[in-house]
A and B are shown apart, each in its own frame.
Chain A
Amino acid sequence: MQRSFLAQNPSVLWFIAILAVFTVVVTLMSEVTGVGLISTSFVKTLGKTLCLCLVAIAMDVVWGYCGILSLGHFAFFGIGGYAIGMWLMYARTEGIVMTSLAGQPIPPTPAEISDAIGNQIFGVVGSSEFPMIWAFADSLALQLLMVVLVPGLLALVFGWLAFRSRVTGVYLSILTQAMTLALALYLFQNDSGLRGNNGLSGLQNIPGYQDVSQATVSIIFFIASALALAAGYVFFAWIVSGKMGSVVKGIRDNEARVRFLGYHVESYKLFIFTTTAVVAGIAGALYYPQAGIINPGEIAPIASIYLAVWVAIGGRGRLYGAVIGAAFVSLLSSWFTGGGAPNIDLGFYVIQWTDWWLVLLGFSFVAVTLFFPKGIGGLFDYLVRKPS
């Protein structure tokens, strides 16, 4: 079975091989091995890009294969980040508080410990009480479970309601966008208990491993992200290649016809929607410890639209297209906005890319949609001369 799946999908093997080589090369050239050709901050950027590729694959499956243009997958990504961020913050603060309380003449009561941690975490946002949602923050296992459960459940409930009501097409897109906006607005409130606009920060310091250098931490997360991407790729490639994949693609092309054939379309859509949400959550949980901070701005509807943009530019309906799109656009983006691109002097006016990059991106995006609906991935078809 396994062999035949891979045999059907040579691209999976290719992808894994390239990713493995890439990971090994980056690791060898990083500061950890002493070579130092790739700086720690660039390793972090690469690690984050791998996570973005993972969520892009999920987006590709839900949109490119199943035809649901979800503008909510970056919200699931963010939820994953928040879930792991809560533990990171709690555990690190607990460490600090315990050290500081250890010097006291009498041992602290549980209430005193919890008050002190609360004051440290929420003091900056003018509060010191622990909200209900932090109930499990002291347990890594439970918070890891939340990384999977919260996006999964949210997607399940939302998807069940939406698909049951036969909300499709652009309506569903708008609805998912509304969900994302509601979530972002909710998190923006200080009363949400997740530190409002400030969000959770200092996430790059892993509790218990504060003495380990960031160079090592960044490489570990980079490798973990690469593994997660590989696993996610194989998993989704397996899903979309079997019989299930055929049904899903059928739903994309003509939902009514698939329904008349006797398939329970809603269940398939719900399964895809929920699974991809869970993967998005996992990607987020890997991404934010590398970014160091998560806040509601990350979840804003525009982020989810960008996700769709990446997938579209990379090429929908092919998993490697999503990876290429996410990596290409996000790295290009940081190159342009980071002042890496040389300014163009027109004599009477200097084009500064920090100002003009978004204009370029916007219009090139229009061009891709109009003229290259298959995206960059479409070039591969051309290269291998596989007419579609």
Chain B
Amino acid sequence: MKFKTSALALTALLGTTAMAAAECADPIKVGVLHSLSGTMAISETTLKDTMELLIENQNAAGGLLDCEIEAVVVDPASDWPLFAEKARELLTVSEVDVIFGSWTSVSRKSALPVLEELNGLMFYPVQYEGEESSRNVFYTGAAPNQQAIPATDYFLEELGVEKFALLGTDYVYPRTTNNILEAYLQDNGIPAEDIFVNYTPFGHSDWATIVADVVALGADGKQVGVISTINGDANIGFYKELAAAGISADDIPVVAFSVGEEELSGLDTSDLVGHLAAWNYFQSAESDLNDEWVTAWKAKMGEDRVTNDPMEAHYIGFNMWVNAVTEVGTTDVDAVREAMYGQEFPNLTGGTAVMLPNHHLAKPVLIGEIAADGQFDIISQTEEVPGDAWTDFLPESAVLTSDWETLGCGMYNTETETCVQLTSNY
């Protein structure tokens, strides 16, 4: 991979010379805040490469505001406090115009106070637990109502699941998502005793007992389904144990929110066939734009590389930002922020993504079945679902709304009609 660097540098160089020698007063800098080392490097390095590809393409197409875009890549090394430190460096030392970055919620929460203090702008590309809407962050990944709720509906409606096992890794995203789902399922008539919740540590490998517990749930004759927010490597052991116990997707379907093409690549998927995943994007989506994107990605990174959902989020986010900057003719954060609202850009899966005043996107929700080749068979695709910053299914959040365009507040209490706060909960 690194052997290619020189070739890449060459293409970049050619791109530079090919550019029109237009006047460029202030070079445009895009900060990339993704971990290139440590535990999250596996997921985040791909996003750094995505950003580099997007910027290359944009420069080849003539740059932005007559300037070439320069990527400032830093490595927060999966160390959460470093995200705050690096964000500050990007904004004050490198003076970037925008940041694309973060993967885990905790890393976003770490960078948030700095972004709000220095009035920076960040695009966050990963599905997350919601309950947040910062003035300085655009959330291009899915909020719970754009992933978890439609997937649960699918379980209820299409698979007739009556008893749920919510299995997750013990951190914020699964905790909050499962809380929302518990409330949602109870609203839909699933009694509390038919919801089994379990949390395991990161990288958990001893799944035998938990799988046995899940199987035993079927003892009262109800169809059991698993909603998995299990993160990363732990999935491998989990699916292996499921297969060893002889459980097929027909017996107990599993829908995962953190398993995508990247996680499946290089894994023997024969045991997983038929299990489900819910995302806003699958590589197998059929559209010309997507074919183009996949081809460009494979040309840059190699034939065996795959595309996934957070990459599409960056794709949409970056292009929207470019359009907003072009529209207002400056990279000034407040001006760009205003211009972002209502910004539209075509999804790779077809249809159009719209940036809402609550800093979330309206995107379609796709449900895919894992196929033997590590790709997904898309079996359900909804219309665009507007992302909801504050969930409607938890009483404390149901009264909250976010609207930066007209209300100028990310945490607005509709009951008392007051803005709870302008900064975020960290």
Chain A interface (Cβ < 8 Å from any Cβ of B)? 39-41, 44-45, 93, 96, 99-100, 103-104, 119-121, 123-128, 185, 188-190, 195-199, 201-202, 204-205, 214, 291-295, 297-298, 337-339, 348-350, 352, 354-355
> Could you say which of B5, B81, B179 contacts A291, with CB atoms under 8 Å apart?
B81
Residues in A neighbouring B420, C-beta threshold 8 A: 96, 100
State whether A337 and B77 are in contact (beta carbons under 8 Å apart), knowing that A198-B105, A202-B113 are contacts in the complex.
Answer: yes
Residues in B neighbouring A188, C-beta threshold 8 A: 170, 201
| Interface: B319 (CB within 8 A) | no
What is the number of residues of chain B that contact chain A, defined by CB distance less than 8 Å?
52
Contact assessment for B199 and A190 in the assembled complex, using a CB-CB cutoff below 8 Å: yes
State whether A185 and B201 are in contact (beta carbons under 8 Å apart), knowing that A45-B85, A103-B416, A120-B425 are contacts in the complex.
Answer: yes
Residues in A neighbouring B171, C-beta threshold 8 A: 190, 196-198
Q: Smallest CB-CB separation from B182: which chain A residue?
A: A126
Residues in B neighbouring A214, C-beta threshold 8 A: 117
| Interface: B418 (CB within 8 A) | yes
> Could you say which of A99, A121, A185, A292 contacts B114, with CB atoms under 8 Å apart?
A292
Stretch at the interface among B57-65, B88-96, B302-310: B88-96
Contact assessment for A39 and B5 in the assembled complex, using a CB-CB cutoff below 8 Å: no
Question: When chains A and B are docked, how far (Å) is the Cα of A212 from the Cα of B172?
Answer: 31
Residues in B neighbouring A202, C-beta threshold 8 A: 109, 112-113, 426
| Interface: B84 (CB within 8 A) | yes
Sample 30 A-B pairs with CB under 8 A, ordered by A number.
Answer: A40-B88, A40-B92, A96-B421, A100-B418, A100-B419, A100-B420, A104-B416, A120-B425, A123-B131, A124-B425, A190-B175, A196-B171, A196-B172, A197-B171, A197-B172, A198-B109, A199-B80, A201-B106, A202-B112, A291-B85, A292-B81, A293-B80, A298-B81, A337-B37, A338-B86, A338-B89, A350-B2, A350-B5, A352-B2, A354-B77
Contact assessment for B80 and A349 in the assembled complex, using a CB-CB cutoff below 8 Å: no
Residues in A neighbouring B105, C-beta threshold 8 A: 124, 198
| Interface: B178 (CB within 8 A) | yes
Question: When chains A and B are docked, how far (Å) is the Cα of A46 from the Cα of B105?
Answer: 27
Question: When chains A and B are docked, how far (Å) is the Cα of A189 from the Cα of B426?
Answer: 18
Contact assessment for A339 and B74 in the assembled complex, using a CB-CB cutoff below 8 Å: yes
- Which 5 pairs between the two chains have the least Cβ-Cβ distance? A202-B426, A197-B171, A126-B179, A201-B426, A291-B81
> Could you say which of B5, B73, B113, B199 contacts A204, with CB atoms under 8 Å apart?
B113
> Could you say which of A197, A292, A348, A354 contacts B170, with CB atoms under 8 Å apart?
A197
Tell me the minimal C-beta distance from A262 to chain B in angstroms.
48
Per-residue contact bits, chain B 84-127, to A (CB 8 Å; 1 contact, 0 not) = 11101100110000000000011001101110010000000000
Residues in B neighbouring A96, C-beta threshold 8 A: 420-421, 423
Question: When chains A and B are docked, how far (Å) is the Cα of A277 from the Cα of B170?
Answer: 29
| Interface: B366 (CB within 8 A) | no
Per-residue contact bits, chain B 407-423, to A (CB 8 Å; 1 contact, 0 not) = 00000010010111101
Question: When chains A and B are docked, how far (Å) is the Cα of A259 from the Cα of B170?
Answer: 47
Tell me the minimal C-beta distance from A285 to chain B in angstroms.
15
Residues in B neighbouring A195, C-beta threshold 8 A: 172
Residues in A neighbouring B86, C-beta threshold 8 A: 338
| Interface: B380 (CB within 8 A) | no
Contact assessment for A125 and B37 in the assembled complex, using a CB-CB cutoff below 8 Å: no
Q: Smallest CB-CB separation from A128: which chain B residue?
A: B396
Question: When chains A and B are docked, how far (Å) is the Cα of A339 from the Cα of B172?
Answer: 30
A to B contact number (C-beta, < 8 Å): 140
State whether A196 and B37 are in contact (beta carbons under 8 Å apart), knowing that A103-B418, A123-B397, A337-B75 are contacts in the complex.
Answer: no
State whether A293 and B84 are in contact (beta carbons under 8 Å apart), knowing that A100-B419, A103-B418, A190-B175 are contacts in the complex.
Answer: yes
Tell me the minimal C-beta distance from B143 to chain A in angstroms.
14
Residues in A neighbouring B148, C-beta threshold 8 A: none
Q: Smallest CB-CB separation from B417: which chain A residue?
A: A103
Contact assessment for A196 and B175 in the assembled complex, using a CB-CB cutoff below 8 Å: yes
Sample of 7 further A-B pairs with CB below 8 A, known A124-B105, A127-B175, A196-B170: A100-B421, A126-B176, A190-B172, A196-B175, A293-B84, A295-B80, A348-B3
| Interface: B36 (CB within 8 A) | yes
Q: Smallest CB-CB separation from A202: which chain B residue?
A: B426
Question: When chains A and B are docked, how far (Å) is the Cα of A26 from the Cα of B131?
Answer: 40
Residues in B neighbouring A349, C-beta threshold 8 A: 2-3
Residues in B neighbouring A198, C-beta threshold 8 A: 105-106, 109, 171-172
Question: When chains A and B are docked, how far (Å) is the Cα of A348 from the Cα of B178?
Answer: 49
Question: When chains A and B are docked, how far (Å) is the Cα of A199 from the Cα of B104?
Answer: 13
Residues in B neighbouring A338, C-beta threshold 8 A: 74-75, 86, 89
Residues in A neighbouring B421, C-beta threshold 8 A: 96, 99-100
Question: When chains A and B are docked, how far (Å) is the Cα of A185 from the Cα of B112?
Answer: 26
State whether A124 and B131 are in contact (beta carbons under 8 Å apart), knowing that A292-B113, A337-B75 are contacts in the complex.
Answer: yes
| Interface: B388 (CB within 8 A) | no
State whether A41 and B93 are in contact (beta carbons under 8 Å apart), knowing that A197-B172, A204-B84 are contacts in the complex.
Answer: yes
Contact assessment for A124 and B132 in the assembled complex, using a CB-CB cutoff below 8 Å: yes
Residues in B neighbouring A39, C-beta threshold 8 A: 89, 92-93
Q: Smallest CB-CB separation from A347: which chain B residue?
A: B6
Contact assessment for A339 and B396 in the assembled complex, using a CB-CB cutoff below 8 Å: no
Contact assessment for B75 and A41 in the assembled complex, using a CB-CB cutoff below 8 Å: no
Question: When chains A and B are docked, how far (Å) is the Cα of A298 from the Cα of B80?
Answer: 9
> Could you say which of B6, B37, B170 contacts A190, with CB atoms under 8 Å apart?
B170
Contact assessment for A119 and B113 in the assembled complex, using a CB-CB cutoff below 8 Å: no
Q: Smallest CB-CB separation from B36: which chain A residue?
A: A354
Question: When chains A and B are docked, how far (Å) is the Cα of A295 from the Cα of B81?
Answer: 9
Question: When chains A and B are docked, how far (Å) is the Cα of A99 from the Cα of B420?
Answer: 8
Per-residue contact bits, chain B 296-330, to A (CB 8 Å; 1 contact, 0 not) = 00000000000000000000000000000000000
Residues in A neighbouring B114, C-beta threshold 8 A: 204, 292
Residues in B neighbouring A124, C-beta threshold 8 A: 105, 109, 129, 131-132, 172, 176, 425
